[in-house]
Amino acid sequence: MKLQLWQIDAFAGKPFEGNPAAVVPLESWLEDAQLQRIANENNLAETAFIVCEGQGRYGLRWFTPTTEVDLCGHATFASAWLLFAEIDPSLTSVSFETRSGMLVVERGADNRNSMSLPSDIVAPLNDPRMAREIGNALGTQPPPELHTGRNVLAIFRDASEIRSIKGPGDVARVIPNDKGLIVTARGDNGYDFISRYFAPHHGVPEDPVTGSAHCALTPFWAKRLGKKTMRARQVSPRGGDLVCTDAGARTMLSGTCALYMRGEIFVPGA
């Protein structure tokens, strides 16, 4: 069976920035094991699979190289870009039915689209031992604050601490196996806040730009900074920019995408 595949850099102004996602349109769902094998072969942080369910309506599922996930912002963003740019340019918005409910992406001008995701309101986590171990794992000082939601959120004092982290180290030993680790601080260079995201339990040592992480970062920093709309930078080695708006129960993310590759994949037994 031959399938089309696009690789798209989300939250990027040009290729080789932002977060790459593979997007594979399907006529109908394949077996879960087959979807997982394709994602593993692609070896990107996420592969998105979409199935048309009507005009402007699609089913959407996301797979890392090792598992299916409940929410992936950048691969949703990439999927919408593909629909707007190449599959159905008549669309002005697209609705995706997902494991996290209905997600809507609105088409904007100059390749800048906007996406609504469910907010992740974090709660303080009083765990000095975890803070010390996170600092040791990352090769830095312990974060003064920890919070918890869908991920562990570690707040550092200065942007330079976030930028200096070499990688996740053995953070997989420290955080719960159903969570990733977001590290963040007030921004520099014109950004309101910066962050990085490590998800070793999901086969993603460091994610380049993480839409779902900003569902926690946006409401947190909106309250801390007293701002609704903020400029954010994920300072991974690739890096990427987002504009984030706190809308209460929803988080609005906007940005651009860049096409890297169109191709065909050959799937035996499908």
pLDDT of residue 153: 98
Alpha carbon distance 77, 8 (integer Å): 9
Q: Are residues 195 and 83 in the same domain?
A: no
Q: Are residues 104 and 149 in the same domain?
A: no
Given a cut of 70, whether residue 270 has pLDDT beyond it is no
Within 13 Å of residue 48, how many CA atoms lie on the same side as its CB?
32
Q: Are residues 241 and 134 in the same domain?
A: yes
How many other C-beta atoms lie within 10 A of the C-beta of residue 157? 13
For 5-51, the pLDDT digits (tens) are: 999 999 998 999 999 999 999 999 999 999 999 999 999 989 999 99
**What predicted TM-score, i.e. pTM, was given to this entire model?**
0.85
pLDDT of residue 168: 92
Domain housing 128: 123-248
Q: Are residues 261 and 218 in the same domain?
A: no
Q: Are residues 109 and 133 in the same domain?
A: no
Q: Are strands 152-155 and 181-186 parallel, antiparallel or unpaired?
A: parallel
The band of 203, judged by pLDDT with boundaries at 50, 70 and 90, is: confident
When pLDDT is averaged across residues 139-165 and rounded to a whole number, the result is: 97
Q: Which residues are catalytic?
A: 46
Alpha carbon distance 94, 86 (integer Å): 13
Q: Are residues 18 and 73 in the same domain?
A: yes
> Which domain CATH number covers 56?
3.10.310.10
Q: Are residues 183 and 238 in the same domain?
A: yes
**Token code pair at residue 67:** 């598992």
Identify the sign of the CA torsion 28, 31, 35, 37. Answer: negative
Q: Are residues 129 and 243 in the same domain?
A: yes
Q: Are residues 35 and 137 in the same domain?
A: no
Residues in the chain: 270
Q: Are residues 13 and 103 in the same domain?
A: yes
On average, the pLDDT of the chain sits at 95
Q: Are residues 137 and 113 in the same domain?
A: no
**Token code pair at residue 110:** 């100059």
What total of structural domains would you count in the chain?
2
For 67-84, the pLDDT digits (tens) are: 999 989 999 999 999 999
Q: Are residues 112 and 128 in the same domain?
A: no
